[in-house]
Structure formats: structure tokens, C-alpha cells
Chains A and B, each alone.
Chain A
């Protein structure tokens, strides 16, 4: 049994470490590329959202490399993510690929079946061993998320341009070579320290922008055409409202924990959206409001074309824009999105934010009379 899994941001590194710990054979799918997307688009239904197209591309590329079992997480709607697997099964069957799916979820609340599936993938019945590997894997993912968060926050301030990119690229390279969670955690900790000690120029006028929207397009830099780096280069500090580690928690444990941040988000969203709308529609609304209240200069919503929950959220954003006095830009992404047009829109938006900030400053200066 050779296991493979879909890409989502840098999750493949902790997953790889976990499988190393467990001693499972696996194939890391080739990095997301134009070819991945092309394969995915070719065989997917026309109007399905971008995440599935990329996922399908990942699977096919992995299968060609020898994988025969695909593990994914599940969900129970109403977002169509939960039904991806069924469509993908049909497609792979029609294409003549012989791959088995293992969905990590408890079907109809059947916990035993869930443990069966987990132990099948992990190749051991020892639950302690699995829990340990999982715990360490999530630890690595959290550390990695923290590194990325710091970079997005600090990169626009760095004195010598490119320093952080260098550190980050070196980190990813060494992580790809290292085996096991223990080794990875050590490397990441070292990089975190290095990044925090990069020389900064705090006098720069840096804008702050929050990214909201659909979780896959936020986390996967291939899908959002590396929006974080692009904004950093325009002199904007970025905060992403979703992280991969948060997502893993939610999907593996069905999020009964209810973190404090989440409660805050729901509370903020309440005047506009009282119930869930599937996916992360409610979180999008709540985060937009929180970012506005935390004094961010702007908020950008990214989402795949035809994403249902985000369309609901999108139709409420103009209200928030007026009520909270914060400009919100919506970027819709699909396989046809061109980078140049995308960058132009970002630049125009950042110009607007800069002018806005400047205007407020001048207002203060002119108020002498």
C-alpha cells in the first residue's frame, strides 16, 4: 500500500514526517504546477470549484508515480467539499485508474469505523503510536504556521530585501530532506529564531491587510498566486485568517473544542449572519469585522469561482464595508485567472489604501483652523 494525499499549503511536510514516524510507505504528490491544474481541469466537471481541480491533478500525478491509496479528510456539507471524494472516484474509475480512497471521517457518527480507517492507513493497531505521531505532526504544522505568519508580518520591514525568503527557502529544502517529526521541529525552531532576528526597518510606512475567504485558496499559495508575497512586496503586512493547523483540528476532531478566537469570530458575525452557511462563510464575515475593529487598513477576500458559502458572505461584505468603514476587495480565482490582471487589481487596491491613510493624516494637519 502506497499512500498519497492532496496538497494544501505546506501540510505535506508534517504529513511526511508523521508517515516517517509511523513507517508507512507514501508518495508526496509533485508540487502544484500548471500541469497539475491542467490535468485536474481536463477531467473535472466544468463548474466544480478550483480546490477539487487541483486535488484531482495531485491524485493523478501521484498515481502515475505509484501511489494506490489516497487519504483525505471528510465533511458533511452543505459545502460540496464533503462530496469531492465521490466525484473523484467516478472520474478515476472512468480514466481506468485503480486507486482506493480512505476518507478520514466517522460515517454517520460511527467512531469504530473511523478508527478502523485510521489504523489501516497507519499500518498499526497501536492507538498510542498513532496518537503520538498525530500529536507530533500537528506540533510541527503549528510551528510551520507560526514561521509563515511571522514572515508575512515582518517581510515588508526587512532591511536587506530577500533575507527572509532565503531563510524560508532553506527551511523548506532542509525539511524536505529531513525525516521524522523530531528532526523537523528542531529545524523549524532554529529558523523561527533566525527570522525574528532579521534586521528590520521599523520606520517604513507599512499597511496592514487581512485575508479572508475560502480556506484552501487562502492557505495554498499556488491557488492564490502567492498573494502574501505579492502584498509584502507592495509594502503591506499580511495576516491570514485561516491556517492549516486550525483546519486539521476542525476536520479531524469536528471542532467540538470551540477555541476562543472562533467564539469571538461568531460573536462578531452575529449581527449579519446568525447561522452557519457551510464552509467558512460565517468565519469570513466575522473575520472581516474583527480585522476592521483591530485597525487593519483593508481586507481582501479570496475565493474560488462558484464557491457557494463565500458567495453568501460576499453579498454581505458591502454592508460591512459601509458600517465599519473599511475597503474590501474580492478576488475570485479559477483556472483562467491571469497573473497580470490579478496583480493590477492588487496594486490598484493598495494604492487606494495608501491614499486613504494619507488623507487621514493630512486631515489632521489641516485641522489647525
Chain B
């Protein structure tokens, strides 16, 4: 049996878990191609105009898979933490996929909802496993193995690797992590920042400018939760909590020189979270902040220009750009 996993949305957080789970159960797993022009175009054509880019791209990935597999894995991920949601569009994802694409193979559209508690976890896992085998012991075993894979993946991320480096088992070039002097915090939904095509390879671009890129996933969860709790009202989006926590933490870190927020046009969560972060960064710290918005029309040249300008600004800061020499003194302080 062939199972297709679209390379979109929360794929970048959970693919080791999903892949290991289905493979241990004895299914063959096929992951859609890396995002390319065709996938984006297909997605844009088959989704309502007002959906955000990641959703459109996801639909494109499903289109890429639909004729090659027996089952497609499109979970209805409503909530992955207590009292938190992900995004309304995730709650209706299988429905949106179904209404956008005709002649789909069978879909694994299990509802994942831990809003009240995680009690339903094993039930959810069985529901997913049932598509392949009815043997509960086998499912338990597969899930345990998958969980181990997921934990080791999480450890690697916390050690400073980014999902983009770990994909395709790339033997990473940057063994000496943090060898670069300047550290930049890149914020954004995982499906925006880790998708090399959508983000226009922003991570590599920053690295080329000799900057070390860290993201909200590189921080300790505990620290981030503490920082996010500063807000008067608990943030009810799992992603929002993470990003706000990371941003507030970064504001106090001396070694982080700037914050970049990569948002997709029309994202409701970003409109709220990015604004709060921007205002707080400007008010409470001297760190430069930039908001980059992408959609299906974004030209790479424009993004490049803005990244370069941002990088230049950070570099100039190091050179005392604000230092006006008094009469008779040298202009440069070096």
C-alpha cells in the first residue's frame, strides 16, 4: 500500500513521526516533490482566491500525489496543545482539499484534537493505523518507534539544526554551528520559513551573508512559554505562543542582532502576532525588525533587496554608523 504525505504545512515538524509510523506499519510512504512552480500554480488554480499561500501550496502538493498513491494523509489538525488551536484553516483542511480537488484517492483525515486533553491520543493513533492494519499491537509498536524518531528529530533541532538542513539526510556542511559572528532570529510559520521555494531560500541567503540563522524552534520550550506568559491573555494559537515567546526572549539576548518575520499574505495569526512583536521590539529593545510578506506573486528580486538592506544595516551598526566625529578627529573609530 502506498501512502502519500504532502510536503506542506506541518510536514516540517512531524515528517519523521509520520513517515516512521506508516513505514513501520508496512506501508510504502511517498512524499510529494519539493515545492516548485508547477505545484504552486496547481494549488493557486484549485483553491479559493482568499486562502493563504501555504494552503494553496498544500493543495498543490496533494495534486502532485493524487495519481500515484492509494491513500493520502491529510490530518484534520485542530489542536495539538491543551487550550490552544493551530489555525481555523487547519480545522477545515480536509474539507478544503476535498472541495478543491476532484478524483482524490481515499484520505486519512483523522481529527487530531487535544484541546481539552491528550486522553484521545491513543484513540487517534488507532484511527490512523486502522487504515493499514487492524492489529492494535502493531499500531502501538509503530507509534512507539515513530515517537522515538520524533524525539531524536526534536533534539537535533534544539541543537541548532534547522529542518531545512536535515531534509533528505543531507550531510550538513555547517558542522561547526554558530561559527558565524552575527546571529539573526528568523520567525514565521514552519511551512513558510523551511520551504526553500516559498521563502525564496531566505535561510541560505542569510547564511551567504555570513549570518547565523536561528528560528523559534531553536529555543528551549520552557523559556519560550515563560516569556509568552507575559501577555495578559493566554495566546490560544500554538504557533503564536511559540513565536511571541521566542521574540520576547530574543529581545533580551545580546548576541541576536536582528529579527526577521516572514509572513504569508492574508495570514490572520501573523497579522496579530507580527504586530505585537513589532511594537514590543521597537518599544523595548534596540534590535532591528523587518516584516517580509510573501504571496504567490512575490518577486525574488524585491525580497533580495530587502534582505540585503537589512543585512547592510546590521553590518553598519557594528561599524558605528551613528558616530559623527568631532572636528579634527578621524571619521572611523577603528
Contacts and interface: CB of A to CB of B under 8 A. Distances in A.
B115 to A, nearest CB: 10
Most buried by A among B113, B271, B279: B271
Contacts of A86: 231-233, 272, 276
B47 interface: yes
For the residues of B in contact with A, the DSSP-based class is: mixed
A91 interface: yes
Interface in A84-115: 85-87, 89-91, 93-94, 103, 107-108
Interface residues of B, number: 43
A45 B271 contact: yes
Nearest to A305: B50
Interface stretch (B79-87, B150-158, B248-256, B317-325): B79-87
A273 B96 CA distance: 10
Contacts of B100: 315
A87 B92 contact: no
Interface in A57-100: 74, 76-80, 82-83, 85-87, 89-91, 93-94
A306 B51 CA distance: 8
Contacts of B235: 83
Nearest to B109: A274
Nearest to B266: A306
B61 to A, nearest CB: 17
Contacts of A312: 88-89, 91-92, 95-96
B85 A48 contact: no
B111 interface: yes
A87 B275 contact: yes
Contact of B236 (A46, A77, A277, A315): A77
Contacts of B89: 277, 308, 311-312
A318 interface: yes
> Nearest 5 A-B pairs (CB), nearest first?
A312-B92, A78-B85, A77-B236, A45-B275, A278-B88
A90 B279 contact: yes
Nearest to B111: A275
Contacts of A278: 85, 88, 91
A234 interface: no
Given A76-B83, A315-B51, A315-B100, A281 B272 contact: no
B48 interface: yes
Given A47-B268, A308-B268, A314-B48, 13 more contacts: A48-B271, A49-B268, A76-B83, A76-B236, A77-B237, A78-B86, A79-B268, A83-B235, A86-B231, A89-B232, A93-B279, A273-B92, A281-B91
Contacts of B48: 311, 314-315
Contacts of A80: 268-269, 271-272
A279 interface: yes
A74 B231 CA distance: 15
Given A83-B235, A272-B95, A277 B88 contact: yes
A127 interface: no
A323 to B, nearest CB: 11
Interface in B92-113: 92, 95-96, 99-100, 111, 113
B73 to A, nearest CB: 18
Contacts of A49: 268, 271
A279 B92 CA distance: 12
Contact of A306 (B236, B271, B275): B271
A47 B269 contact: no
Most buried by B among A49, A77, A278, A281: A77
A108 B232 CA distance: 12
Contacts of B88: 78-79, 277-279, 281, 308-309, 311-312
Contact of B50 (A83, A276, A314, A318): A314
Contact of A107 (B50, B51, B99, B233): B233
B81 to A, nearest CB: 12
A252 interface: no
19 contacts: A47-B268, A47-B270, A78-B88, A82-B233, A82-B236, A83-B233, A85-B233, A87-B272, A94-B283, A275-B111, A278-B88, A281-B88, A306-B266, A308-B88, A311-B48, A311-B50, A314-B48, A315-B48, A319-B99
